[in-house]
Each structure stands twice: as C-alpha cells, then as structure tokens.
Chains A and B, each alone.
Chain A
Amino acid sequence: DGGITQSPKYLFRKEGQNVTLSCEQNLNHDAMYWYRQDPGQGLRLIYYSQIVNDFQKGDIAEGYSVSREKKESFPLTVTSAQKNPTAFYLCASSPEFPGELFFGEGSRLTVL
C-alpha cells in the first residue's frame, strides 16, 4: 500500500541529545513537509522540500535540521539547540500543486 511511514512512533530523549525522526514515502510525491503539533496551537511548519537536494525553512526551523538526499526520504533532526522539543511531529507529502497533503501517523518526542 502507498503511504507515509514515520518512525519511531514514540521517542524519549535526554536533554542535550540530538534525535533523528524518520519519514519515508512511496507515493512518488516531489514535495515533503515536517510539522510540529502542540496542544491548542494547530500545526506549525518546520521545514519543507519541493524536490530532492532542496529544502526551505518554515515558520519554526530554529533548532531543527533536515536533508533530502532521496525522493522517498525526508528525515528531521531535533538538535540540542531546540529549547522545547517535546511535541508531536508530523511528516507529510503532496503531489503537484495545489494537491492536498498526505500525512504519516506521527512521532511523539518526549524530552526527559
């Protein structure tokens, strides 16, 4: 089945550690996105990529990094510079503009 796979679903991290969240899609979509979800704040865009080897900062990119070496993959690294990393992270992809986004099941990161 085509879709978006995020892993891990739950992740615990100690303060000061970097962590990488995986996102893989087999929908053959060019565009991929990372959103952060906090209660009562909706979804906020972290990074997005329109094509392989290219990505742009979203509204809250500080403390995060991404790469897009393959069309299918768009991993997100939450660095120790992110001051409040505990959140639910959602990866998405979309076909050509202006199609809808398709979402993965999310990764919940908790910093201890």
Chain B
Amino acid sequence: AQSVAQPEDQVNVAEGNPLTVKCTYSVSGNPYLFWYVQYPNRGLQFLLKYITGDNLVKGSYGFEAEFNKSQTSFHLKKPSALVSDSALYFCAVRALGYKLSFGAGTTVTVRA
C-alpha cells in the first residue's frame, strides 16, 4: 500500500517570506514523488518530481523540494513567496505500477 500525508490544511505566509508545504509518504520499495499545484476550477499543474539522484529537486516557478529518505518526507519550498503562489498544492507518491496516490492537499495563501 502507498499513501501520502499533508499535515497542514492551510499555510499562510507574507509575500517575500519563505514558503514550506509539508509532505510525508509511505510506500513499499523506492518512492517516486511529485508536487502539483491547482488553481480554482482548473486541472493540476506539475511542479517537480523526485525519481532518483540528488535529494534536492528544482522545479517550475522557483519551487524546490527536498527528499529525505530517513524521515520519509518530501517538503516543497520556495525561498520568497509571491501573492500569485496562492493555490492548492498536492503531494503524490508512486511506487511500482501505474497508480499515483495523492495527499489531501494544502491551501497556500500569500498575503501582500
């Protein structure tokens, strides 16, 4: 079985401050990890993924994520948040096979 937990329903930050969205996972075998962003009434947009290699992954729009195998975490980070980063963020995990399991999502609000 595979699962993802996003412990925070909401994250609020001021524009210009660092943004972190937390994600922990549980899988059997090697994990393949993903972050997506969703704007209201839209589909999900891919931000970044960890497959193998360097634990720090860089993605779209200035986002990055750090894979930590010992803590089974894959937190999403952005050094300086923008108001336009306000959206719903999903972490997802994939082990063997085609199924991708998603967390419940974290709503990010960046205030001006």
**What residues of chain A have their CB less than 8 Å away from a CB belonging to chain B?**
4, 6, 31, 33, 35, 40-43, 45, 48, 50, 58, 88, 90, 92, 94, 97-98, 100-106, 108
Contacts and interface: CB of A to CB of B under 8 A. Distances in A.
B53 interface: no
Given A98-B32, A102-B46, A48 B41 contact: no
A74 B2 CA distance: 25
Given A48-B98, A97-B97, A100-B46, 6 more contacts: A6-B43, A40-B104, A41-B104, A43-B102, A88-B41, A105-B43
A102 to B, nearest CB: 7
A100 B43 contact: no
Contacts of B36: 103
19 contacts: A4-B43, A31-B98, A33-B98, A40-B105, A42-B102, A42-B103, A42-B105, A45-B99, A45-B100, A50-B98, A97-B94, A97-B97, A100-B34, A101-B34, A101-B44, A101-B46, A102-B46, A103-B45, A106-B42
Contact of A42 (B42, B43, B90, B99): B90
